[in-house]
Chains A and B, each alone.
Chain A
Amino acid sequence: MTLDKLPIGKPAVILTVGGEGNLRCHLLDMGLIPHTEVTVRKVAPLGDPIEIFLRGYTMTLRKDDASKIEVRPREEI
Chain B
Amino acid sequence: MVIALAGNQNCGKTTLFNQLTGSNQHVGNFPGVTVEHKIGQIIGYKNYSLVDLPGIYSIRPYSGEEKVTRDFIINEKPDVIINIADATNIERNLYLTLQLIEMGKPLVLALNMMDELLGNHGSVDINGLSERLGIPVVPISAAKNDGVDELMRVVADTAEKKLRPRRIDFCSAGPVHRCIHTVSHVVEDHADNIGVPSRFAATRVIEADEDITAALKLSDNELELIEHAVLEMEDESTLDRNAALADMRYRFIEAVCAETVVKAQESKEMLRSVRIDKILTNKYLAIPTFIAIMAFIFWMTFSVLGKWLSDLLAMGIDSFTAWVDGLLTAYGLNPVVQSLVIDGVFAGVGSMLSFLPLIVVLFFFLAILEDTGYMSRVAFVMDKLLRRIGLSGRSFVPMLIGFGCSVPAIMATRTLSSDRDRKMTMLLVPFMSCSAKIPIYAVFTAAFFPGHGGLVMTCLYVFGMLVGIIAAKVLSKTTFTGKPVPFVMELPNYRMPSLKSVLLLMWEKAWDFIQRAFTVIFVATIIIWFLQSFDVRLNVVEAGSTDSLLAIVGAWLAPIFAPLGFGDWRVATALVTGVMAKEAVISTLGVLMGVGTNLGAAALGGLFSLRSAVSFLVFCLLYTPCVAALAAVKRELGSGFKTVLVMLSQCCVAWLVAYVVYLLAGVII
**A and B: real partners?**
yes
0 or 1 for each of A12-42: is its CB under 8 Å from B? (1 = yes) = 0000010000111111111101101000011
A30-B488, A51-B281 known; A25+B60 contact, CB < 8 A: yes
Provide the bound-state CA to CA distance between A62 and B384, in Å.
9
Which listed residue, B207, B242, B282, B491, touches A59 by the CB 8 Å rule?
B491
B84-92, B150-158, B529-537 - the one binding chain A = B84-92
> Nearest Cβ distance between residue A33 and chain B, in whole angstroms?
5
Provide the bound-state CA to CA distance between A9 and B74, in Å.
43
Which listed residue, A17, A51, A57, touches B380 by the CB 8 Å rule?
A51
In the complex, chain A residues whose CB is within 8 Å of the CB of B380: 44, 49, 51, 60
In the complex, chain B residues whose CB is within 8 Å of the CB of A36: 250
A33-B246, A45-B287, A56-B88 known; A27+B384 contact, CB < 8 A: no
Q: Indicate whether A61 reaches chain B with its CB closer than 8 angstroms.
A: yes
A44–B384 contact, CB under 8 A?
yes
> Nearest Cβ distance between residue B213 and chain A, in whole angstroms?
15
> Among the interface residues B92, B239, B287, which one has the most CB atoms of the partner chain A within 10 A?
B92
A34–B491 contact, CB under 8 A?
no
Which listed residue, A22, A28, A57, touches B490 by the CB 8 Å rule?
A57
Q: Indicate whether A77 reaches chain B with its CB closer than 8 angstroms.
A: no
Q: Which of B304-335 contact A (CB under 8 A)?
A: none
B250–A61 contact, CB under 8 A?
no
A49-B384, A51-B380, A56-B88 known; A29+B487 contact, CB < 8 A: no
A47–B62 contact, CB under 8 A?
no
Q: Indicate whether B480 reaches chain A with its CB closer than 8 angstroms.
A: no
A33-B247, A62-B486 known; A48+B91 contact, CB < 8 A: no
Provide the bound-state CA to CA distance between A28 and B448, in Å.
58
Interface size, chain B (Cβ < 8 Å): 44
Provide the bound-state CA to CA distance between A28 and B248, in Å.
11
B287–A29 contact, CB under 8 A?
no
> Nearest Cβ distance between residue A48 and chain B, in whole angstroms?
5
Q: Indicate whether B385 reaches chain A with its CB closer than 8 angstroms.
A: yes
A65–B488 contact, CB under 8 A?
yes
B62–A62 contact, CB under 8 A?
no
A29–B383 contact, CB under 8 A?
no
A29-B58, A33-B250, A65-B488 known; A44+B383 contact, CB < 8 A: yes
Nearest neighbor of A46 in chain B, beta-carbon distance: B384
A31-B92, A42-B281, A44-B384 known; A17+B488 contact, CB < 8 A: no
Q: Indicate whether B95 reaches chain A with its CB closer than 8 angstroms.
A: yes
Interface of A is mostly: mixed
Which listed residue, A27, A47, A56, A65, touches B89 by the CB 8 Å rule?
A56
A58–B491 contact, CB under 8 A?
yes
A30-B57, A30-B92, A33-B247 known; A61+B487 contact, CB < 8 A: yes
Nearest neighbor of A30 in chain B, beta-carbon distance: B57
Q: Indicate whether B243 reaches chain A with its CB closer than 8 angstroms.
A: yes
In the complex, chain B residues whose CB is within 8 Å of the CB of A41: 274
Nearest neighbor of B273 in chain A, beta-carbon distance: A58
0 or 1 for each of A43-77: is its CB under 8 Å from B? (1 = yes) = 11111110100011111111001000000000000
Interface size class of A (residues with CB under 8 A): 20 to 34
> Among the interface residues A27, A51, A58, which one has the most CB atoms of the partner chain B within 10 A?
A58
A28–B488 contact, CB under 8 A?
no
A23–B488 contact, CB under 8 A?
yes
In the complex, chain B residues whose CB is within 8 Å of the CB of A28: 242-243, 246
Provide the bound-state CA to CA distance between A30 and B486, in Å.
14
A45–B282 contact, CB under 8 A?
yes
Nearest neighbor of B484 in chain A, beta-carbon distance: A62
> Nearest Cβ distance between residue A71 and chain B, in whole angstroms?
15
Provide the bound-state CA to CA distance between A75 and B385, in Å.
36
> Nearest Cβ distance between residue A67 and chain B, in whole angstroms?
13
Which listed residue, B91, B239, B243, B281, touches A45 by the CB 8 Å rule?
B281
> Nearest Cβ distance between residue B11 and chain A, in whole angstroms?
11
Q: Which of B156-215 contact A (CB under 8 A)?
A: 207
In the complex, chain A residues whose CB is within 8 Å of the CB of B263: 56
In the complex, chain A residues whose CB is within 8 Å of the CB of B486: 22-23, 26, 61-62, 65
In the complex, chain A residues whose CB is within 8 Å of the CB of B391: none
B488–A26 contact, CB under 8 A?
yes
In the complex, chain B residues whose CB is within 8 Å of the CB of A51: 281, 380, 491
In the complex, chain B residues whose CB is within 8 Å of the CB of A23: 486, 488
> Nearest Cβ distance between residue A66 and chain B, in whole angstroms?
10
Nearest neighbor of B86 in chain A, beta-carbon distance: A57
Q: Indicate whether B283 reaches chain A with its CB closer than 8 angstroms.
A: yes
28 contacts between A and B (CB under 8 A): A23-B488, A25-B60, A25-B62, A25-B242, A26-B60, A28-B246, A29-B60, A29-B62, A29-B95, A29-B246, A36-B250, A42-B277, A44-B383, A47-B384, A49-B384, A51-B281, A55-B91, A56-B88, A56-B89, A56-B91, A57-B89, A58-B270, A58-B491, A58-B493, A59-B490, A62-B383, A62-B387, A62-B486
Question: Which residues of A line the B interface, CB within 8 A?
Answer: 17, 22-31, 33-34, 36, 41-49, 51, 55-62, 65
Question: Which residues of B line the A interface, CB within 8 A?
Answer: 57-58, 60, 62, 88-92, 95, 207, 239, 242-243, 246-247, 250, 263, 270, 273-274, 277, 281-284, 286-287, 380-381, 383-385, 387, 393, 417, 486-493
- Taking A44-B286, A61-B488 as known contacts, 17 extra A-B pairs with beta carbons closer than 8 A to each other, sorted by chain A number, are A22-B62, A22-B486, A23-B488, A25-B207, A26-B58, A26-B62, A30-B57, A30-B92, A31-B95, A33-B247, A42-B281, A44-B381, A45-B381, A46-B384, A49-B393, A62-B387, A65-B486
